[in-house]
């Protein structure tokens, strides 16, 4: 939209909110959930959404974004080494992610299996960066983010979409 003020032409620039969904996946379960989170995020206006494997995420990527949604398979009750490596590399930019929005999702093999400890391990790294973390109020989703055992079903995919949407809406309000 163009406004005219004292004969000066001004352009209103829309600031796009930048959201990165970073994940690791060997068997495809977490990737499928990541794609649902991406779909939910893409439904929000004025948001740039990028989906990337954690191994490919650079510190420059992390500094550019407003929100980071991280997904990992449960490996021994924690995030995978690929996701941990992304966080370990980010120690070089400690202090630069403060105030950004964060959220987590996961898939496990066992019905309990460590989904909550895995999401909490991701949220813990985000809190150490001073990020603002978003939980999941939908009971099917899993309290600390969206988690499921095995291949995500349609209910979990919907919870993933909702997580993506909600994180974007919160980032747009806060940043
Ligand atoms: C090294 C390794 C460790 C795992 N540890 C656990 C575990 O502690 N608890 C669990 O429920 N599943 C565990 N699993 C199973 C995966 O979490 C599960 O299959 C997950 O859905 C795989 O995600 P992906 O298809 O995205 O790779 C483990 C798998 C691997 C390869």
- Residue 137 has what pLDDT? 77
pLDDT digits (tens, 9 = 90+) for 36-53: 999 999 999 999 999 999
Q: Whose CA is nearest to atom 19 of ligand 1?
A: 109
Region 16-174: CATH code: 3.40.50.360
* pLDDT block averages, 10 residues each, the chain of length 175: 52 88 98 98 97 98 98 98 98 97 97 95 98 83 90 96 96 93
Cα 108 to averaged position of ligand 1 atoms, centre (Å): 5
List b or e across 81-98, with b for residues whose CB sees 16 or more CB atoms inside 10 angstroms.
ebbbebbeebeeeeeebe
Strand bridging mode 2-5 / 8-11: antiparallel
What is the rounded distance in angstroms from the CA atom of residue 142 to the CA atom of residue 112? 11
- Residue 72 has what pLDDT? 98
Q: Which atom of ligand 1 is nearest to the CA of 108?
A: 17
- Residue 14 has what pLDDT? 84
Classify 55 as helix, strand or coil: helix
């Amino acid at each position: 939209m163009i406004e005219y003020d004292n004969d000066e032409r001004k352009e209103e620039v829309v600031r796009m909110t930048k959201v990165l969904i970073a994940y690791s996946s060997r068997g495809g379960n977490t990737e499928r959930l990541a794609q649902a989170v991406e779909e939910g995020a893409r439904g929000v206006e004025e948001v740039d959404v990028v989906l990337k494997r954690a191994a490919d995420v650079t510190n420059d990527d992390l500094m550019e974004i407003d929100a980071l949604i991280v997904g990992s398979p449960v490996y021994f009750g924690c995030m995978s080494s690929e996701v941990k490596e992304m966080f370990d590399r980010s120690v070089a930019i400690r202090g630069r992610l403060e105030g950004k929005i964060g959220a987590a999702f996961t898939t496990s093999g066992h019905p309990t299996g460590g989904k909550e400890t895995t999401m909490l391990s991701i949220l813990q790294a985000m809190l150490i960066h001073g990020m603002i973390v978003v939980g999941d109020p939908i009971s099917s989703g899993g309290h600390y983010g969206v988690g499921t055992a095995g291949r995500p079903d349609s209910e979990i995919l919907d919870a993933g979409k909702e997580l993506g949407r909600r994180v974007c809406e919160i980032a747009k309000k806060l940043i």
